[in-house]
C-alpha cells in the first residue's frame, strides 16, 4: 500500500466539495473492497475521505409505498431489516448469499454498488488489464476466464460485476440517489452500471464528483413469488458463477409481471426486456421458463473456460423461476436446490 | 466512490502524513495511540497495543483470523483502518474471559477439542460471539453458513460447530 492522506467528511456537501477539489481522492465507507485493492496497489488514492460517519444509515418507508435505504446502511442490517424481510425478501436473500457475516457487517449499501470486479487479472498488477490500466490489453480473454462474462462483454474487457445485492436491486428496479457538485439526481438501476465497451475502466455512470446518498425501492416487492438462486464453486462465501433473481406476480397460473436479473454473467446485473415481456401473460410453466432462458441467452458467448456457464445459466433461470412460481424460494442457509 | 480506478500517476510522491492520535476502548480499557492513516485496526491492536491474540492470516478479509468485535459486531480488523474507528469500543479474544473465568465459548472450544493448531481460534471465538449476539443462527446448518467467514485449515469444523452449539445453549 502506498502513502495517502486521510480526512473525515463533515457532511454530504463537504464530501462533495472535497472529492471535487481532489479527483485522485476516494471516498471510504465500509472499506471491505477498497482497502483490499489498496493493499494490492490496484487502487492508489492520494487521500481517503471518510464518509462512514455521515447520517445516511436509516431505512425508511416512503409515502409512495416504497423504501429508502441510506447509502451507509450496512449490508447485514439491510438484509435483516423487518421492512426488507417482509416486503422485499428477494433483496434480503441476495445480500445473505454474498460475502461473509463479518464483511456484511462492514460493507455499506453504496459501497456494494461500487465494488470492483474480482477478475484475477484486475487484481494482479503484473498483468495487463484494460480496467486497471486502460489500453494495456485484456489478460482474461485468452487467459483463465472461468468466472468471466458470457453476455455484453467486449474485446477490451470480459469482467463481471461481483455483487449479489445489485442483482436483486436490478430486478426490483431500484433507483440510485446521488449528490454532486451539480446537485442531486436519481439514476435508474439499469443505467447505473455500464457495459465495458472501449472504456472498461468506468464501472458506472456516477460522475467523479458524485456521492451515492440512498437507494430507493418502488412499492412492488414481489414478496410472494421470488427466488435468489446462486451457483458457485463452494457452498458459501464465494462469488457467483451464475446467479438469478426471479420475481413474479401471478394471477392464478398466469404471469402478470416478471422480473429476471442475472449475476456473474456480465459487467453489470443482466436483464433482458424481451425475455421479461415474453413471460407476461403466459402460463407459469417449465416450457415458458425455458423459452425465457433461450431468449435471454440468445447472444451468449463463452470463452475457453466459461462456456459451461451458458447451459448453467439456462438451468438456473428455469429453476429460479420455478421456485418463484411455486412460492418456494431458495434457502440461503440450506444449499439444497429444490 | 468515484467510478474510475487508479487515478494517481505512478511515481508521484506525496508528503508523508503525520501520525493521527486516536482513542479506542479495548476490552474495557480506554487506550490512546497514534496511527498512520494506513494502519489497520489489526496492526494497531497487535503492534500498537501489544494485543497479539488477534491473528493476521490472509490480511485480505478472506480467512477471518483477524475477527474482533467493534461496538459488539464482528468485523475483519484487517480491512478496517484504525483511524476510522477513533472512539470505538473493541473486544478482542483477550477481553472475553471475566475474573479469571473463561468465556462459555472458550470453555466450549476446549470441551469439544475445536482446534488443532489454534491459529484461527481467536477469530473463530470472536466470530462465534458475534454470531450468538446476532441471534440469527438456530440450527447447525445455519451456524455453518454464518461462520463461513472463518476458515480452519486444520479442518476442525465439526467440533467448532459443536462448541458453538454448546455455548448457544448456555447463553
Does the pLDDT of residue B5 top 50, yes or no?
Answer: no
Q: Give the rounded percent of residues in chain B with a pLDDT score beyond 70.
A: 91
Does the pLDDT of residue A10 top 80, yes or no?
Answer: yes
Domain range for A315 is 226-326
The verdict on residue A114 lying in a domain is no
Q: Do B104-170 and B20-95 have the same topology in CATH?
A: no
Does the pLDDT of residue A133 top 50, yes or no?
Answer: yes
- Whether residue B2 lies within 8 A of chain A, CB to CB, comes out as yes
Mean pLDDT, chain B, as a whole number? Answer: 93
Element (H, E) at B32: strand B29-35
Does the pLDDT of residue A102 top 60, yes or no?
Answer: yes
Neighbours of B27 (CB within 10 A): 18
pLDDT digits (tens, 9 = 90+) for B57-87: 999 999 999 999 999 999 999 999 999 999 9
Number of domains in chain A: 2
The DSSP annotation for A231-288 comes to EESSSSS--EEEEEEEEEEEETTEEEEEEEEEESSSSS-EE-HHHHHHHTTSB-SHHH
Are B3 and A202 inside 8 Å of each other by CB?
yes
For the segment A43-58, the average pLDDT, to the nearest whole number, is 98
Contacts of B148 in chain A (CB under 8 A): 100-101, 236-237
Are B60 and A111 inside 8 Å of each other by CB?
no
Q: How far apart are CA B158 and CA B160, in angstroms?
A: 5
CATH 3.50.50.60 fits B104-170, yes or no: no
Just give the CATH number of B20-95.
3.10.20.30
Does the pLDDT of residue B50 top 90, yes or no?
Answer: yes
- So what's the pLDDT on residue B2? 39
- Put simply, the chain B residues between 94 and 153 with a CB less than 8 A from any chain A CB are 127, 130-131, 134, 136, 139, 141-142, 144-150
Residue with cell 459486531: B73
Contacts of A204 in chain B (CB under 8 A): 3
Q: How far apart are CA B167 and CA A191, in angstroms?
A: 48
Looking up residue A236, the CATH number of its domain turns out to be: 3.30.390.50
Are B6 and A332 inside 8 Å of each other by CB?
no
Are A101 and B144 inside 8 Å of each other by CB?
no
> Which three cell numbers mark B37?
492513516
Element (H, E) at B164: helix B157-170
The verdict on residue A186 lying in a domain is no
Q: How far apart are CA A29 and CA B29, in angstroms?
A: 26
Shortest Cα distance, chain A CAs vs residue B108, angstroms: 21
For the segment A195-222, the average pLDDT, to the nearest whole number, is 98
- So what's the pLDDT on residue B6? 46
Neighbours of B135 (CB within 10 A): 10
The verdict on residue A46 lying in a domain is yes
pLDDT-based confidence at B129, cuts 50/70/90?
Answer: very high
pLDDT-based confidence at B13, cuts 50/70/90?
Answer: low
- Whether residue A135 lies within 8 A of chain B, CB to CB, comes out as no
The DSSP annotation for A176-208 comes to EEEEETTEEEEEEHHHHB---TT-TT--BS--T
For the segment A67-91, the average pLDDT, to the nearest whole number, is 98
The verdict on residue A138 lying in a domain is no
Pick left, alpha or beta for residue B70 (phi over 0 → left; psi -120 to 50 → alpha; otherwise beta): beta
The verdict on residue A93 lying in a domain is no
**Phi and psi at residue B82, in whole multiples of 5°?**
-55, -40
The verdict on residue A287 lying in a domain is yes
Looking up residue A11, the CATH number of its domain turns out to be: 3.30.43.10
Q: Which residue of B has its CA nearest to A45?
A: B8
pLDDT-based confidence at A25, cuts 50/70/90?
Answer: very high
The verdict on residue A320 lying in a domain is yes
Element (H, E) at A4: none
Are B5 and A237 inside 8 Å of each other by CB?
no
- Whether residue B84 lies within 8 A of chain A, CB to CB, comes out as yes
Quote the pTM value: 0.96
Closest to A193 in 3D by CA, of A115, A273, A119: A115
Say which of B10, B60, B141 has its CB closest to residue A36. Answer: B60
The verdict on residue A154 lying in a domain is no
Helices (H), B20-59: 41-43
Domains of chain B, by residue range, sit at 20-95, 104-170
pLDDT digits (tens, 9 = 90+) for A263-276: 999 999 999 999 99
Amino acid at each position: 500500500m502506498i502513502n495517502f492522506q486521510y480526512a473525515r467528511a463533515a457532511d454530504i456537501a463537504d464530501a462533495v466539495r472535497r472529492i471535487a477539489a481532489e479527483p485522485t481522492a476516494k471516498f471510504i465507507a465500509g472499506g471491505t473492497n477498497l482497502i483490499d485493492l489498496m493493499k494490492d496497489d490496484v487502487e492508489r488514492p492520494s487521500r481517503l475521505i471518510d464518509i462512514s460517519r455521515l447520517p445516511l444509515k436509516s431505512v425508511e418507508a416512503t409515502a409512495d409505498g416504497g423504501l429508502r435505504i441510506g447509502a451507509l446502511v450496512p449490508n447485514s442490517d439491510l438484509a435483516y431489516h423487518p421492512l426488507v424481510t417482509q416486503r422485499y425478501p428477494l433483496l434480503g436473500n441476495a445480500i445473505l448469499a454474498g460475502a461473509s457475516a463479518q464483511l456484511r457487517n462492514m460493507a455499506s449499501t453504496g459501497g456494494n454498488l461500487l465494488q470492483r470486479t474480482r477478475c484475477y487479472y484486475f487484481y494482479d498488477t503484473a498483468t495487463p488489464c484494460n480496467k486497471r490500466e486502460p489500453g494495456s490489453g485484456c489478460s482474461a480473454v485468452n487467459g483463465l476466464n472461468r468466472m468471466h462474462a458470457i453476455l455484453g462483454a467486449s474485446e477490451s474487457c470480459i469482467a463481471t460485476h461481483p455483487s449479489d445485492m445489485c442483482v436483486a436491486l436490478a430486478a426490483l428496479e431500484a433507483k440510485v440517489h446521488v449528490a454532486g457538485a451539480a446537485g442531486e439526481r436519481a439514476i435508474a438501476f439499469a443505467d447505473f452500471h455500464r457495459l465495458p465497451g472501449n472504456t472498461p475502466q468506468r464501472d458506472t455512470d456516477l460522475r467523479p464528483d458524485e456521492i451515492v446518498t440512498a437507494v430507493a425501492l418502488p412499492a412492488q416487492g414481489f414478496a410472494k413469488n421470488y427466488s435468489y438462486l446462486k451457483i458457485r464453486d463452494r457452498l458459501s462465501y464465494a462469488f457467483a458463477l451464475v446467479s438469478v433473481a426471479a420475481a413474479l406476480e401471478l394471477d392464478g397460473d398466469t404471469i402478470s409481471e416478471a422480473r429476471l436479473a442475472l449475476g456473474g454473467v456480465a459487467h453489470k446485473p443482466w436483464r433482458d426486456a424481451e425475455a421479461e415481456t415474453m413471460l407476461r401473460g403466459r402460463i407459469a410453466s417449465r416450457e415458458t421458463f425455458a423459452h425465457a432462458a433461450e431468449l435471454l441467452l440468445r447472444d451468449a458467448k463463452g470463452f475457453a473456460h466459461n462456456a459451461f456457464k451458458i447451459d448453467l445459466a439456462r438451468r438456473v433461470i428455469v429453476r429460479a423461476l420455478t421456485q418463484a412460481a411455486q412460492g418456494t424460494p431458495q434457502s440461503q442457509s440450506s444449499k439444497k436446490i429444490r | 466512490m468515484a467510478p474510475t480506478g487508479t487515478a494517481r500517476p505512478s511515481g508521484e510522491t506525496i508528503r508523508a502524513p503525520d501520525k493521527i492520535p486516536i482513542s479506542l476502548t479495548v476490552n474495557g480499557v480506554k487506550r490512546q495511540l497514534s496511527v498512520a492513516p494506513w494502519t489497520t485496526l489489526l496492526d494497531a491492536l497487535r503492534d500498537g497495543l501489544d494485543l497479539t491474540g488477534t491473528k493476521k492470516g490472509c490480511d485480505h478479509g478472506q480467512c477471518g483470523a483477524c475477527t474482533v468485535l467493534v461496538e459488539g459486531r464482528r468485523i475483519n480488523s484487517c480491512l478496517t483502518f484504525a483511524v476510522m474507528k477513533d472512539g470505538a469500543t473493541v473486544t478482542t479474544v483477550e477481553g472475553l474471559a471475566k475474573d479469571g473465568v473463561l468465556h462459555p465459548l472458550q470453555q466450549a472450544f476446549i470441551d469439544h477439542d475445536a482446534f488443532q493448531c489454534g491459529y484461527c481460534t481467536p477469530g473463530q471465538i470472536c466470530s462465534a460471539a458475534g454470531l450468538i449476539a446476532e441471534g440469527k443462527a438456530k440450527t447447525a446448518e445455519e451456524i455453518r453458513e454464518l461462520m463461513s467467514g472463518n476458515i480452519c485449515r486444520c479442518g476442525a469444523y465439526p467440533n467448532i460447530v459443536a462448541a458453538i452449539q454448546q455455548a448457544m445453549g448456555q447463553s
